[in-house]
Chain A
Amino acid sequence: MTADTAGRLPDLLYDDTERSLADALKTLLDSQAGLLARTESAETYDTALWRKVAADLGCAGLLIPERDGGAGASYREAASAAEELGAAVAPVPFVGSAVVATVALLACARSGSAEAERLLRRMADGELTVALAIGFATAPDAPFPRSVRVAGPHQGDKASGWARLRGSVRGVADALPAAMLLVPSDGVPHGLYAVDLSSARVTRSGVVSLDMTRQLCDISFDDAPATPIVSGSAAADAVNAALRAGACVLAAELLGVAQRCLDMTVAYVKERHQFARPVGSFQAVKVRLADLWVSVAQARAAARYAAACLATGAADAPVAVALAKAYCSDVAVQAAQECVQLHGGIGFTWEHPAHLYLKRAKADSLAFGTADAHRRSLASLVNLPAP
């Protein structure tokens, strides 16, 4: 058995701070235009929008303590923000920088890294955007990455304190708009390094991605100069914490995607007439939306529980995050698929945004561990062993 056998559960509702942050984001995001055109442009990330989200609304520093210039908020607020960003499929690196890279650096700072703390102070107000150089599909508790290695030093490295990294990472999310990378690197010992993306020895190439509202990139390091942050188990712990936080916040993002798909579809079937009546008056349509509404309501409880557990560092957090990511992945994909289907022909066109939600939902469902991967991790967490 795991914790929480007594049935005592944390607050699963939204408090006033969370609601007002979500409202402010929704107001900002509702006024955005040109989302579809951006997916076919040279700059798929909306850096102007990200500045507003990161700096003006303070989302960059939600998880950063106040003494480092952040908001000192918790995963609950980060999850609320992610819901709204998901609902708008906003092309901003919130998850990659304000959650994943931030959580990795917070773990490093707790291990005593002054460099991590310096970076966090620059990230808190949105000035610096950072990405963790790890494949977007990597699940929490995955083995430490080995595709980048510490290479031999160049002349002068000793004075500058640099290490050199060589290798490549495929399919990294939110690295295209970043100015700095955190790179898990193999070596003796393995470690986590900061790499400035202005270096000519780092190459990012944008990937034609399933979800172009969060375009991935492949990154190669050719003896790239790197600042060591932490090494050994501290690095592995930092990467793991980052992946778990990423899975938790993606679950909230998926909830936002699902809710918006449901809302759009309900509005459409009330309006669209065939056979001289709204298509939403046919039971074949109604029951599908009723079932979807039930699933979204359930997903909300799962996503809230995961955020609440990470916020307090509860012992049940690994279970809660696996549960939320497994459940919300399936529900969001179902919601986006229903959105396409129940919009009929228009839902299958390029011009209608339904496909952006479908692609975001499906891509997110594969990211930071599939539903299946999280269910398999639950098997060991809650003692339901495989045959």
Chain B
Amino acid sequence: MLKRESLRERVGELLKSADTSQRQEFLDARFEAGLAWVHFPEGLGGLGLPRQMQAIVDAELAAANAPDNEPDRIGIGLGMAAPTILAHGTDEQKQRWLKPLWTGRQVWCQLFSEPGAGSDLAALGTRAVRDGDGWVVNGQKVWTSSAHQAVWGLLVARTDPDVPKHAGLTYFACDMTAPGVEVRPLRQLTGEAEFNEVFLSDVRIPDSDRIGAVGQGWTVAMTTLMSERVSIGSSRAVPREAGMIGSVVKTWREHPELRTPGLHDRLLRLWVEAEVARLSAERLRQQLAAGKPGPEGSAAKLVFARLNQEISGLELELAGADGLRYDDWTMKRPERANFFGRGPGFRYLRAKGNSIEGGTSEILRNIVAERVLGLPPEPRTDKEVAWKDLPR
């Protein structure tokens, strides 16, 4: 196995042989050198090393001012598509998809949720029907970020309506440029359209773009969703007063005229909660780094959703009369989700999505209760029933 020093040497060789001013070419060379994600196998951008050794590569490259692959822009590809392809894809699919995914040449999106299947994802109704050496897909997906930029979509579709809902699903990569794929902006209560609706009408998908076996779609989708949780959990420690609380304490310090005793008490309570949440995230990161992942990851999203909502609510009240004004209702398509660079009204409204997107807080509490605390599951009436016979 490569030691730290030889990993550093390998980075040094890359920096010598590849021109950092040619962004795309440099990223190609980095992938070929196995320095894209060192925990991936050799030949697929990695070196088969422990995940935590990536930090060594990232530090060396950052010190050399090398361009990165703009991970914010391709988060779904990196965090969800790549682990799914690695775990369930064929060798041909790994060779075909992973390099353009990592270098950012191809953006991925996620075609999971539907108007009729939100928390109950396994009830989804988008149909994929066999047709010769491929499939024909019809249905509607929703809450798809990056769909208007994506070349590929991670698609779960129903291939067998005659079996219980979890058993009749199959997983595909959907070519977003194929005929019959229509992407429409989905406008949120903030006024902007960060997400999309995707309409699939007689979209042909070759069988070579199926990921995992027919009927195994739920298992593959679980890999995608668990990877989302891991990628959220392993983020770096943030400084004190980063995030939403930072914005409100700045206003508090700069505007003594806005202070009241009631707001002061709420501010102190929220400052304490935000700081404790930061320490908890760091404790979780330390557990992962020590190879002892705990279930606390499921707590983090619950806490951040509630705190973001309470803090942004306080920020709007602190703004007083200015809180009655909103910066901009016109429909815009932001590049990525961002709380800052907008007014407190936007933060207040956008934070409402935090307890809905990526698993509602209600579903997360059930998951904590059942999987962490081992409390009895909800009585299920839909487990043994064919999907087509479920009430809807």
A residues at B contact (CB < 8 Å): 1-2, 4-9, 11-13, 266, 269-270, 277-278, 280-281, 283, 285-287, 289-291, 293-294, 297-302, 304-305, 323, 326-327, 375-376, 378-379, 382-387
Contacts and interface: CB of A to CB of B under 8 A. Distances in A.
Given A270-B374, A281-B379, A384 B279 contact: no
B286 interface: yes
Interface of B: 236-242, 249, 252-253, 256, 259-261, 264-265, 267-269, 271-273, 275-277, 279-280, 282-283, 286-287, 290, 292, 296, 299, 302-303, 362, 364-366, 368-370, 372-379
The secondary-structure label for the interface of chain B is helix
23 contacts: A7-B238, A7-B239, A9-B279, A12-B286, A270-B375, A270-B376, A281-B378, A286-B375, A287-B365, A289-B373, A291-B302, A291-B365, A298-B273, A298-B277, A299-B276, A301-B283, A302-B276, A304-B279, A375-B269, A376-B268, A383-B253, A385-B259, A386-B259
A8 B379 CA distance: 45
A379 B264 contact: yes
Nearest to A3: B240
Given A9-B237, A13-B290, A301-B279, A386 B376 contact: no
Nearest to A9: B282
A286 B239 contact: no
Contact of A280 (B241, B364, B375): B375
B373 A266 contact: yes
Nearest to B370: A286
A385 B256 contact: yes
B259 A266 contact: no
B102 to A, nearest CB: 27
Given A9-B237, A327-B272, A384-B267, A293 B286 contact: no
Contacts of A301: 276, 279-280, 282-283
Contacts of A281: 375-379
A387 B376 contact: no
Given A4-B239, A11-B286, A384-B249, A298 B280 contact: yes
Nearest to B281: A301
B227 to A, nearest CB: 22
B239 A384 contact: no
A266 B303 CA distance: 21
By Cβ-Cβ distance, the 9 closest A-B pairs, closest first, are: A281-B376, A286-B369, A387-B259, A290-B368, A301-B279, A301-B280, A290-B365, A12-B283, A7-B239
B375 A289 contact: yes
Most chain A beta-carbon neighbours within 10 Å: one of B260, B272, B370, B378: B272
A384 B372 contact: no
A7 B286 CA distance: 13
B366 A283 contact: yes
B260 A266 contact: no
A299 B377 CA distance: 27
Taking each of A8, A294, A376, A384, which has the highest tally of chain B beta carbons within 10 Å of its own beta carbon?
A294
Instruction: Determine which residue in A2, A285, A378, A387 has the highest number of CB atoms from chain B within 10 A of its CB, and name it.
Output: A387
B34 to A, nearest CB: 29
Nearest to A379: B268
Contacts of A2: 240
Contacts of B374: 266, 270
Nearest to A383: B253
A286 to B, nearest CB: 4
Contacts of A283: 366, 378
B366 A382 contact: no
A6 B272 contact: no
A172 to B, nearest CB: 29
Contacts of B286: 11-13
A7 B378 CA distance: 40
B279 A305 contact: yes
B244 to A, nearest CB: 15
A323 B276 contact: yes
Contacts of A378: 268, 271-272
Nearest to B268: A375
A265 B203 CA distance: 53
A39 to B, nearest CB: 30
B334 to A, nearest CB: 26
Most chain A beta-carbon neighbours within 10 Å: one of B252, B280, B302: B280
Nearest to B294: A297
Contacts of B375: 266, 269-270, 278, 280-281, 285-286, 289
A369 B32 CA distance: 59
Contacts of B241: 1
B281 to A, nearest CB: 8
A357 to B, nearest CB: 18
A323 B272 contact: yes
Contacts of B280: 297-298, 300-302
A360 to B, nearest CB: 22
Contacts of A278: 375-376
A293 B296 CA distance: 9
B272 to A, nearest CB: 5
Given A290-B369, A301-B282, A327-B276, A384 B264 contact: yes
> Quick one: which of A13, A269, A278, A298 has the most chain B CB within 10 A?
A298
A183 to B, nearest CB: 34
A249 to B, nearest CB: 18
Given A294-B303, A384-B252, A280 B376 contact: yes
A3 to B, nearest CB: 9
A286 B365 contact: yes
B240 A5 contact: yes
Given A4-B240, A297-B296, A384 B268 contact: yes
Contacts of B287: 13
A294 B295 CA distance: 10
B376 A7 contact: no
B276 A7 contact: no
B121 to A, nearest CB: 19
Contacts of B242: 7
Contact of B275 (A291, A294, A297, A323): A323
Contacts of A383: 253
A386 B264 contact: yes
Contacts of B365: 286-287, 290-291
Contact of A384 (B271, B273, B302, B364): B271
A168 to B, nearest CB: 34
B299 A5 contact: no
B291 to A, nearest CB: 11
Q: Which of A270, A293, A378 has the most CB of B within 10 A?
A: A293
Nearest to A280: B375
B261 A386 contact: yes
Given A283-B366, A387-B264, A13 B283 contact: yes
A12 to B, nearest CB: 4
Contacts of B265: 375
